[in-house]
Structure 1
């Protein structure tokens, strides 16, 4: 048995045992549109994963990881999804800021921040988007000034996922007065519990509030809580985004298959499966999901990966509504069912983490070499 399959077998056995005993009540909790579910239970699970050595698999062993290869990471994420394990609460720390600190952090920063991420003891959020700087991230206006050994941060961030439960935020802000666009930006690590930080939830179509506005009104963080040099923030911010597409997307596709199975079962129950148009749409979804997996196995970081899965998932949400018929238009007792929630939340898939329009521009310019 090769290394990926050994790790797969180990993960499958461990997850089966834990999710049928101590954490049986955590199975299936959370996920897009459902991040409000069982946060305390999922946080306990995150720390349990850390103690058992199942977080940060790709990190070097010197920092508590397993130096897992891409194939080993894929094996774990697939088994994690198949086990219907709860949605992770530490994924932003493990998948985004952790690797960025490994790449750019000082020895002192690595010692301060990486253990808390690996153990699931400190949660992170991403302070990038602003009301005037969404897809055009270089238009960031949040500013920071170095005063008496501390960065003083003032400004607003928006669409900040899980800010309401985060301990820390990595903030892209302008530290050079008068600078514009990509110049004069810095990458700061700011405590979310500090005075001057206010989090306001944004209520979504699903009625939940995974996204937030974050206001910094003179919030302070130590001078050494900056990754890289002042003014080097854009380069580091782009490096962080480079870590966003990874092996976890293969596990995500297991969840997609589960959703598609639920759509098919509903179509059979409601009789919608007798409609040849809907049958064709179901078959098309099944085929496209297989293509998604093959492309993911080839390279989960391909530039069109996010564009492909987000457009596919939004179409699946529309199909989920269609197979329910009229019943899908009514929330019984005011509660959304799983397919209604899928439809509503998937509308955001083609917007967050880079809109489809931006993704197409990136593919055109960087992958195909077309003129700007």
Structure 2
């Protein structure tokens, strides 16, 4: 997308590019570039580097220790990070629970948790989905019963991303089973080291341990760890989901994946000509690129509105739907471009340190990434649910 940048914005881009060239560890860059899965240490090393520079919480206002960047600066930062093969920030602390604490938390909660998130001291995970409450999140059954100065929590959460590394969990619980579904929910911050918490892995189709089940058996949570009033957790939940869905669009990484696709399709020959020159294939690539450009403009509008105090509404659902569809389309086109070369699957390469020769290494992750991207249209609220939100909120249907 060709935007007109001011001299200050161009200088900021140069600053970000120079920082990434100097500070981003080469071994992490290579893992991202080759599609290898990142280890916990890879995430923490990079986020500690960003924290030291003051750039970990790119979306935070200055009053809470963020850089106070403009929407365009954040766009530039995301674009340059993706181009440099930097890892995505683990979003649960910085981009999800932190905005909830800023808006609904007590002064004591802000004073305690926000500096720890800013300094990368806590690894957060999300306790929303349950076996019987996914897209119908308000149907959750995890119970929290008041016992003096504590809640006693019992239940099960599922699809808890990177929960095996986390020391903190933000969790939706039912505190009033007699109230309407949404009215009986509260929002708790739970120490993952508390007695009664069990984390069990779920191994996904690509062989990765990315998500988990979390069981809570008589877990005691201090009342002061409740964000907002009792029974008002649904308000916190909706606020958080708008931030999550905006992030799922992953536009910077979609743009990098598109560049990779075009490079692959330019090298692979079809009847003596580059695949990218085949009209039917080129049409799908061009269509994806045009839609990505349009989505980037929408994303900038949403970010700009948020900087002036607005909460993303149905626009976040639009970003989630189209962003996830585009990333799936790009991974599908990459797999098609590689053909049989996309078939090899090397777990020791993807999850470990086993080397592979140049061209094979670039192709080894194609199938794993294709399967992994299938989740994008499901998590964070299934796309069918998001389309209903758009139809009701924007179109009045």
The reply to whether TM is greater than 0.5 is yes
Give the counterpart of 2:29 among 27, 30, 45: 27
What is the CA-CA distance between 1:5 and the residue it aligns to? 4.2
Q: Which residue does 1:87 correspond to in 2? A: 88
8 Å contact kept, 1:47–1:121: no
Change over 3 Å in CA distance of 1:112–1:67 after alignment to 2: same
In structure 2, what is the equivalent of residue 16 of structure 1?
21
1:322 paired with 2:323, answer no
**Which SS does the other structure have where 1:77 is aligned?**
helix
2:56 alignment counterpart? 55
CA pair 154-120 structure 1, distance change in 2 beyond 3 A: same
Shift of 1:205: 1.2
Matched, 1:354 2:394: no
After superposition, give the CA deviation of every residue in 1:29-85 in whole Å (9 maximum; x if it has no partner).
Answer: 459x85x42321320221221121112233232321122222222222222222222
Question: In the alignment, is residue 279 of structure 1 matched against residue 282 of structure 2?
Answer: yes
CA distance in 1 between counterparts of 2:120 and 2:328 reads 31
After TM superposition, give the deviation of residue 154 of structure 1 in Å: 0.5
Kindly indicate whether the alpha-carbon contact (under 8 Å) linking 1:304 and 1:363 is maintained by their aligned counterparts in 2: yes
Give per-residue Cα distances to partners, 1:193-238, cap 9 Å, x unaligned: 2111111111111110211111111112211000011111111111
- Tell me the residue number matched to 2:308: none
- Structure-2 residue corresponding to 1:182: 182
- Cα 1:10/1:106, change in 2 over 3 Å: same
Structure 1 segments unaligned to the other structure (5+ residues): none
| Residue among 299, 304, 307 paired with 2:321 | 307
Do the aligned partners of 1:153 and 1:217 also contact (CA within 8 Å) in 2? Answer: yes
- Structure 1 residue 333: Cα displacement: 7.9
Q: CA, structure 1 residues 238+249, in 2 after alignment: closer, same or farther (shift >3 Å)?
A: closer
Q: CA deviation at 1:172?
A: 0.5
The answer to whether structure 1 residue 366 and structure 2 residue 366 are counterparts is no
State the match for 1:99 in structure 2.
99
- How many Å separate the matches in 1 of 2:198 and 2:301? 42
Between Structure 1 and Structure 2, how many residues are aligned?
A: 363
Q: CA deviation at 1:358?
A: 0.5
Q: Distance in 1 between matches of 2:346 and 2:127?
A: 37
Equivalent positions of 1:194-343 (< 5 A) are: 194-246=194-246, 252-272=250-270, 273=275, 275-299=278-302, 301=312, 302=315, 303-331=317-345, 337-343=364-370
- Cα distance in 2 for residues equivalent to 1:357 and 1:290: 23
Contact persistence 2:51–2:119 (CA under 8 A): yes
Q: 1:83 to 1:267 in 2, by over 3 A?
A: closer
- For structure 2, the 5+ residue unaligned runs are 1-5, 304-311, 351-363
Structure 1 327/71 Cα, relative in aligned 2: closer, same or farther at 3 Å? Answer: closer
**Distance change >3 Å, CA 2–CA 275, structure 1 → 2:** closer
Which SS does the other structure have where 1:84 is aligned? coil
Aligned pairs for 1:111-190 within 5 A: 111-190=111-190
Matches of 1:130 and 1:88, distance apart in 2: 25
Matched-pair contact (CA < 8 Å) for 1:11–1:79: yes
Indicate the RMSD between aligned Cα atoms, in angstroms.
2.4
CA–CA distance in structure 2, aligned partners of residues 330 and 57 of structure 1: 38
Point out the structure with the larger helix share.
2
| Range moving further from structure 2, 167-176 or 254-263 | 254-263
Q: Hey, what does 2:359 align to over in structure 1?
A: none
Give, in whole Å, the separation in 1 of the partners of 2:88 and 2:114. Answer: 21
Tell me, in whole angstroms, the C-alpha distance in 2 between the residues paired with 1:253 and 1:160: 23
Runs of 4+ in 1 over 6 A off after TM superposition: none
* SS of corresponding position for 1:183: helix
The answer to whether the Cα contact below 8 Å between 1:139 and 1:180 also exists between their aligned partners in 2 is: no
Question: Alpha carbons of 1:333 and 1:77: their partners in 2 closer, same or farther (altered >3 Å)?
Answer: closer
